[in-house]
Each structure stands twice: as C-alpha cells, then as structure tokens.
Structure 1
C-alpha cells in the first residue's frame, strides 16, 4: 500500500463516471452500423456502472416515450432534414449540449462528426473518437463533402484525447498517417434468437431456408443492385431474395433499387426490420450476402455468421479482415461471379454441426462484453492522465 493511504482509501470503489455519445442518429432500433455499435456498447457500459447518455437526432426518435431506455439517458436534438447538413449541424449542436452536461468523456463516432473535436476541446471536454471507416470513400459524397470528411478524420486523429478504430487495417493506417496512437476495438455481435414466431415469414410469403438475405440501408456502397442482378442470373424459382432495409432519404439510388426489385420475380423488400422480426429473418435464411464496396467492420455480416448462416461477401479489405474461407468471398462488382457463388452456396448448405461451430466461433471472438472492456481501457487511460 502506498505511504499515507489508509486501507479504507485503498479499497474505495472506482468513482461513477459519465459518458456522452455523439455522432449517430440515435438508439434504440435505429438503422445503421454506428447506431447498432453505440446501442450495444452503451448497454454494456451501463452494466459496468457507468452513467451513459446518448445525443440523437429527434426525427429518428419519435417513439421514445421518455428520456431513457434500459438505464441510458437519450436526448433528441433537432437536425435539418437534408442529407448534406443533417449530421454536421446536429453534431455542432450536440457538442454545445454536451458542454452543458459536462461528462467525464465525450465519445464522438465517425470521421464526419469528428470535425468538431476542436470545438469540444475549446469547451473543455475530454474527447474520444471512434473511426468507423473511410466515410469519404462512400459513393454518395461529392468532392467538397469528401474533403470535409477527410478534415474530420484529421481533427479526430490528431486532436482527440483518445482514438479507437473498429478495423485493425484502419488503426494501422491512422497510426502511419497521423503518428498518433490508435486502439483497435472491433465491432461486436449479439444475435437474439426470436422468442416466438413473429409472422414476418407469412407476411412476405417466405419459406424457411428458401431465401437469400441482405440487411442494409439503401445506399450505393451496399450495392443491392449487384445482388438483384446476380439473383436474376441464378434463375432458381424455388428461392427468394429478401432485402431488409430502407433509405433515410429518397435518392436516385434508392429509386433504382426499388425499380429493379420490382422487375425481377422473387425479390422481396421488407423495409427496415429490427428485434425479433429481423432475428427471425436471419435464423430462417439460406444464405446471407454482403456485396458492399465500403465497410468499417461489417456488423450485419457478423450477425449472419453468429446465426449460423453461410455467407458471401465482397473481397474488400474490411470484409477480408474477418478471415473467412476463400469461397466465402467474390470479386467486388463481378455480378457473374456472385451469381455462380450464390448458386453453389444454395446447392450445398452447411450441416447443422458446421453452422453451430461457426456460431460458437463468432460469439467467442466478437462479444460486446469484450468490446466494452477494451473501450473502458481507453477511457481509464485518459482519465488517469
């Protein structure tokens, strides 16, 4: 025991700390990878004795009956309903709101919101930034928006007190680019088996193990159009293609997806699904496909694997980081190769033992409890300075 410290002082419990999350649409059950990440992480941190607050965008939280959910305080703030302005205006307002709340740590998610790290520091806040991927590579952004996002990355990696990346490749790249320490903390996975049948299969006339599934927002980098075209080439009338997701903003791409889906027999659009309804879609799918051109670390792919599903993913770096067998990947944008791989997967489903083995492997490697503990190490190191 250090000199001058009593036994009671040495045994004193760690003080209760408060964290504010910013840079997301909101929780719970809001579409998006960052939103899922924060929802699960916030729950784990609450269980660890932290006071957790989330600043969300009011239009995504219309059904929030009170200011809290599962012990997490949620603050809906206004943001303009314009794709180019929504996140940036909301984060600017959110930093000022966080300054009024005076948390021990403000945790900003994604490189766009990290644009306001300098403001947060000027307001005396301790800031942690999580890099969820190269958002400036998303197809929807023009030249000016890409430059703004790269500036956000620069501010987040150079000026924040603590830095996290959900991909080891991104973490290495940030260390090389900005000469600042970055902690690799992967996304986690937690798949709730549906407690009972929800009726979603009957609602969309789906048969168990007779459909291919993709759960993702309708944005160009998810490449739903590639998947629809590949499904059409498979030509198997016994299977359906289920696209679970939607678009926050109606865009030329989302209209293209809907039009193409309407023209191909067997394509089913369920809209955004969550909870037991989404879990039932996962559990009963024959195959999960992720044809995207951009990912940070693909939570939906992890969830599919944790559900025991065979999977196909584009061969981008973020997907290959999961280290799947070679036949679980296909060349990005190659519709013919995707169609061939889909047909082979559907013709040769895995055994029950193979499915259970994959479920165990994923759940052990990517638990949200371990994500929370690694994140807490970053927080504690910052607070100890």
Structure 2
C-alpha cells in the first residue's frame, strides 16, 4: 500500500503535536515491507534538506513560505499537486488547515483520510481571516474526506453536531513507554535539582496559559522550594512570547527552549509535579507523557484534559489563578512520588494498527 502524508511541518525532531503524532505513528506502519509511506515536509522547518528518509519513512521537502498565516495553505496546495502525480493508494491529511485541499485531492480522484486534531480556529493567536480559512479547512475535510479520524470524543461530538457526520473514527494520540533517565547532567546545566522543580512544556502561545501559571506559581508557598521549568518556545516570535519570557525572567522561571530526547527525559524523570494550564488542546501528548512517567499532575478542566480521566482533584478551573494557587499549595509533594494511570488505549502500536485498518477499508 502506497501512503502519502500531508499536514505536518515534518519529521523528525520538529516541535508540535501533529509532528510528534506523525513521527511516532508512521514508522510503526512499515510491517513486512507491505507499505510505502512518504511524509511531505515544509521546507522552512527542515534543517537538513539532504535527508530523504527517517526509520524507513520517505521524506519529501516541498516549499512553504515563512508566514504564520499562509505557510500551511501554500504548502498544502503545492503538495497535493505533487501527490496527484504520484498516485498513492491513500492520502492522509492531518489538521484542519491543510484540509483546505481535500476537495482538490478528491477532484484528482485521490482517496483521502482526514485526521482532525482539534478546531484550531479556537486558538487565540489567529486573526479573523485565518480563522475563516481554518473553519473552511475543517468543513472541506469533514465534507469530502473518505474517512475522518478524530483524536478525542469531544471532537467526534463536535463533528456530529456541526456537520452531521456521525461516522468519524476515534483514534487517540499515543505515548511511548517512558524512558526513565538515570542522569542529571542536563538538570545541573539548568541550575535545578532533581525532585525540586515543577514542570510543563508547550509552545509559547496564549492558549497554553503559561502566563497565568507563572503568576500563580510566584504567589505560592511552593515557589520557595520548587523552581518552575517550562520547556518550549515560539514558532514565530510574537508580542505574547516576548512578554512571557520577560515574565519568566522576572519570576526566576527556567526556560529551556525546544528540547527532545535525553534532555526531555531527564526533566520528566525527576519532576515533582507536572502542570498543564491550557485553555485549548486537542488531546495533549505532553499530558500523556506526564501520565506515562507517573507524575503528580494538575491540569485545567477543559474537555481535552478531563477525557483522560485523572482523579477529580487533579483538575482546576481553566484560567483561574486563585484556584491554581490554592491547588498547588494544597499539594503534599513527596520525593519521587509516582502514580499508575490507565494508559492502554494510548499505545502507539495499537493506534498504528487502527489507522492501517482505516486505510485498508478504502482499498
């Protein structure tokens, strides 16, 4: 089976939820040489443009402009023209923005699977025109996709209520088994001590809520003993990201930038608490990673977070600084305290098999 993938900035090691999803998913589909998979990458995110392969996945770089508003649209249009000449058995388009080209792909007689990772037009960073294109992409993907995959029950219900499409297939994000690090050298370079820091990660955009997390943290008794560490950065520097960095510096918060691999493993391995204060998520892989490491967790009570069924006292009202302060100060953190969460449905091997079944149903 010949599969081509569109909608991700690229793989490997490119930050983002869709990117992480694709990086973990597609290598698991190369079973017994039965499938050929090509991931289309956006040229402006690929550092090593000579690289043509990752774990058996073919990589194809196609031009994308350095524009937050237009990179996905331009790249998706050029990509679907390229894909039309290559004639794969299945085209898999991730995220609602790139699905603007689903109708065009169908005109080329291509079989299209859409994965809806969330209504991105709810993100605070987008202006009115961008929201219009995102909503149109959602409509196009849901209307013309042969099959629609959703990563959460909330999105499944949204599609049913908004577009009367009730046959979407729920296949969640996944998470690898944790690699618990025995090293602390990276922590030492950050000036932090194991078991003595609170951790979170994500892009520096308003909907992640890192600004009110910092303000809440600064007012807690925990701040006298535990540092706050935020891993991530902005894809495109903005007024918000600059203000966030200034706020972090003022409150002695550690910012690591985008990290992966051993550095990220060390931070997950030795965190005393993981906090996810987001206003909006699809199904956050960062939360699943924290669960896989068994960390104590505080998360905002948005549907994307509550669907993983953490204990009720792990959730606070989204955006409520006073409640977050109260919850953080109510915690009795213990060194290397770990919990066992239910993770079976988030196994990448199972998710790969479920996605392949969707492809096979089209052929």
Q: TM-score, normalised by structure 1?
A: 0.90
Distance 1:211 1:120 in 2: 48
Q: Describe the SS at the equivalent of 1:212.
A: strand
Distance 1:230 1:70 in 2: 42
Does 2:26 match 1:42? yes
Question: Quick one: which of 168, 185, 197 aligns to 2:171?
Answer: 185
Distance 2:333 2:273 in 1: 11
Q: Comparing 131-140 with 232-241, which one deviates more in the overlay?
A: 232-241
User: Counterpart of 1:80?
Assistant: 65
Distance 2:75 2:278 in 1: 27
Identify if the C-alpha distance between structure 1 residues 195 and 342 changes in structure 2 by more than 3 Å, giving closer, same or farther.
Answer: closer
User: Counterpart of 1:204?
Assistant: 190
Task: Please say if residues 192 and 276 of structure 1, whose CA atoms lie closer than 8 Å, have aligned partners that are also in contact.
Answer: no
User: Aligned ranges for residues 162-241 of structure 1 at < 5 Å?
Assistant: 162-180=147-165, 181-193=167-179, 197=183, 199-235=185-221, 236-241=223-228
Distance 1:119 1:212 in 2: 47
Task: Please say if residues 179 and 265 of structure 2, whose CA atoms lie closer than 8 Å, have aligned partners that are also in contact.
Answer: yes
Identify if the C-alpha distance between structure 1 residues 194 and 74 changes in structure 2 by more than 3 Å, giving closer, same or farther.
Answer: farther
Report the alpha carbon displacement of residue 29 of structure 1 after superposing the two structures with TM. 1.1
User: Counterpart of 1:23?
Assistant: 7
Distance 1:73 1:132 in 2: 23
User: Counterpart of 1:68?
Assistant: 53
Distance 1:77 1:89 in 2: 10
Report the alpha carbon displacement of residue 65 of structure 1 after superposing the two structures with TM. 4.8
User: Counterpart of 1:139?
Assistant: 124
Report the alpha carbon displacement of residue 106 of structure 1 after superposing the two structures with TM. 0.6
User: Counterpart of 1:13?
Assistant: none
User: Counterpart of 1:130?
Assistant: 115
Report the alpha carbon displacement of residue 351 of structure 1 after superposing the two structures with TM. 7.2
Distance 1:195 1:293 in 2: 31
Q: Comparing 269-278 with 188-197, which one deviates more in the overlay?
A: 188-197
Distance 1:23 1:340 in 2: 40
Distance 2:128 2:51 in 1: 40
User: Counterpart of 2:40?
Assistant: 55
Q: Which runs of 5+ in 2 are unaligned?
A: none
Distance 2:130 2:296 in 1: 37
Does 2:289 match 1:303? yes
Task: Please say if residues 29 and 275 of structure 1, whose CA atoms lie closer than 8 Å, have aligned partners that are also in contact.
Answer: no
Distance 2:320 2:335 in 1: 24
Q: Describe the SS at the equivalent of 1:83.
A: coil
Task: Please say if residues 229 and 255 of structure 2, whose CA atoms lie closer than 8 Å, have aligned partners that are also in contact.
Answer: yes
Q: Describe the SS at the equivalent of 2:37.
A: strand
Q: Which runs of 5+ in 1 are unaligned?
A: 1-16
Q: Describe the SS at the equivalent of 1:21.
A: strand
Identify if the C-alpha distance between structure 1 residues 224 and 351 changes in structure 2 by more than 3 Å, giving closer, same or farther.
Answer: closer
Task: Please say if residues 22 and 54 of structure 1, whose CA atoms lie closer than 8 Å, have aligned partners that are also in contact.
Answer: yes
1:51-74 residue CA offsets vs partner (Å, 9 max, x unmatched): 111001122221355200110111
Structure number with bigger Rg? 1
Question: Quick one: which of 340, 343, 355 aligns to 1:375?
Answer: 355
Report the alpha carbon displacement of residue 176 of structure 1 after superposing the two structures with TM. 3.1
Question: Quick one: which of 151, 155, 158 aligns to 2:143?
Answer: 158
Q: TM-score, normalised by structure 2?
A: 0.95
